[in-house]
């Protein structure tokens, strides 16, 4: 997710006839592309993107996929040129479209931090406040000016004393080349910044990929269907289905250990005179082992775990 200085253009004239299709913008390349394609496949969207084509008609739904730079998607959705899009929270705020788009769901991938970084060996700069009035290089001009306006106590970001300069790439090289005293850029693992001799002194915001729409989307019902499908896939990635048998008298304690998303599904085991029950419950993967241990200690038997491919709330 990187910002762009490209001007807004109307893409509708370049599209095939899509009057009866919802336009769904997804990143055309970069680190978000593969994850977006995987998500589209998981929610049952079938399409064939021809080489060098940035438009693909979905074959099993009235949708046209439009492949755009991630940095431009928020603007297209805000202007109503496309109905739905996947981009980053940082792009929405940088393009100042947060009041013109509606966030449907956060997708859990593309997570990173927009940080102020300075040379690790510069002992004179220990906090972002020490960079006030200095030279900053970034591809996030608006967010950077807003942050330094806060640091300077200035209401108008255009009136800050800090010198903010735009560059479109290789931001981490600016300090080493003597072009800047600090930079503002997205950081995922931090390896690139450490290799450039930089370290973080401030976090402007945390970001991740989001599914967005606008108030004037032409197909609100279809957009809601896509949202529900995405929610189902994300839940399936987060949870497993745990099944076990337990004495009915221990059910309340077992339900306290693994309450599920809403409540466990309980079925009486009639051959055992109703004294035992079979329980099915969704459990988060991250705490599965501990929950299974606790259920076993409580007396649960025949504990099995099943993967969830998809789900609906």
Q: Contact at 8 Å (CB) between 258 and 295?
A: yes
pLDDT per residue over 170-207, tens digit each?
898 988 888 999 999 999 888 888 888 999 999 999 99
Phi, psi at 16, each rounded to 5°: -70, 180
Rounded to 5°, the CA angle 60-64-69 comes to 135
For residue 8, name the pLDDT band (cuts at 50, 70, 90): very low
Neighbours of 247 (CB within 10 A): 16
Handedness of CA 198, 171, 166, 180 (dihedral sign): positive
Q: Return d(Cα 220, Cα 84) in angstroms, integer.
A: 10
For residue 16, name the pLDDT band (cuts at 50, 70, 90): low
For residue 112, name the pLDDT band (cuts at 50, 70, 90): very high
For residue 272, name the pLDDT band (cuts at 50, 70, 90): low
What's the full length of the chain, in residues? Answer: 313
What average pLDDT does this structure show over 220-234?
Answer: 95
Helix or strand or coil: residue 29?
A: coil
pLDDT of 6 higher than 50: no
pLDDT per residue over 62-106, tens digit each?
999 999 998 999 999 999 999 999 999 999 999 999 999 999 999
Q: Return d(Cα 123, Cα 119) in angstroms, integer.
A: 9
For residue 5, name the pLDDT band (cuts at 50, 70, 90): very low
Distance of CA 262 to the CA centre of its chain: 25
In this predicted structure, what is the pLDDT of residue 2?
A: 46
In this predicted structure, what is the pLDDT of residue 189?
A: 87
pLDDT per residue over 242-260, tens digit each?
999 999 999 999 999 999 9
In this predicted structure, what is the pLDDT of residue 15?
A: 52
For residue 14, name the pLDDT band (cuts at 50, 70, 90): low
In this predicted structure, what is the pLDDT of residue 13?
A: 52
Q: Read off the tokens for 236.
A: 């399936």
pLDDT per residue over 17-69, tens digit each?
777 899 999 999 877 899 999 999 999 999 988 888 889 999 999 999 999 99
**Strand 102-106 with 209-213, pairing:** antiparallel
Q: Contact at 8 Å (CB) between 68 and 10?
A: no
In this predicted structure, what is the pLDDT of residue 150?
A: 95
Q: Contact at 8 Å (CB) between 77 and 84?
A: yes
pLDDT per residue over 117-145, tens digit each?
999 888 888 899 999 999 999 999 999 99
Q: What is the DSSP letter of 304?
A: E
What average pLDDT does this structure show over 153-181?
Answer: 91
């Amino acid at each position: 997710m990187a910002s762009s200085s490209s001007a807004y253009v109307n893409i509708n004239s370049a599209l095939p006839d899509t009057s009866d299709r919802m336009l769904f913008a997804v990143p055309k390349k970069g680190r978000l592309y593969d994850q977006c394609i995987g998500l589209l496949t998981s929610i049952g969207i079938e399409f064939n993107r021809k080489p060098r084509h940035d438009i693909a008609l979905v074959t099993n739904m009235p949708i046209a996929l439009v492949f755009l730079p991630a940095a431009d998607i928020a603007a297209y959705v805000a202007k109503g040129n496309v109905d739905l899009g996947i981009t980053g929270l940082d792009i929405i705020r940088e393009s100042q479209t947060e009041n013109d788009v509606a966030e449907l769901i956060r997708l859990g991938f593309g997570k990173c931090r927009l940080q102020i970084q300075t040379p690790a060996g510069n002992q004179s700069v220990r906090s972002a406040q020490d960079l006030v009035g200095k030279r900053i290089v970034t591809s996030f001009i608006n967010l950077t000016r807003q942050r330094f306006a806060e640091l300077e106590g200035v209401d108008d970001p255009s009136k800050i004393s800090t010198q903010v300069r735009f560059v479109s790439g290789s931001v981490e090289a600016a300090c080493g080349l003597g072009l800047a005293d600090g930079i503002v850029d997205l950081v995922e693992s931090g390896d690139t910044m450490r290799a450039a001799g930089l370290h973080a002194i401030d976090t402007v915001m945390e970001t991740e990929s989001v599914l967005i729409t606008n108030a004037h989307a032409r197909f609100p019902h279809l957009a809601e269907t896509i949202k529900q499908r995405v929610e189902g896939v994300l839940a399936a990635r987060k949870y497993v289905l745990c099944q076990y048998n337990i004495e009915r008298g221990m059910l309340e304690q077992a339900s306290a250990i693994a309450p599920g998303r809403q409540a466990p599904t309980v079925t009486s085991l009639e051959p055992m005179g109703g004294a035992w029950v079979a329980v099915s419950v969704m459990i988060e993967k991250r705490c599965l082992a501990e929950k299974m241990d606790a259920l076993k200690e409580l007396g649960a038997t025949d504990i099995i775990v099943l993967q969830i491919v998809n789900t609906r709330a």
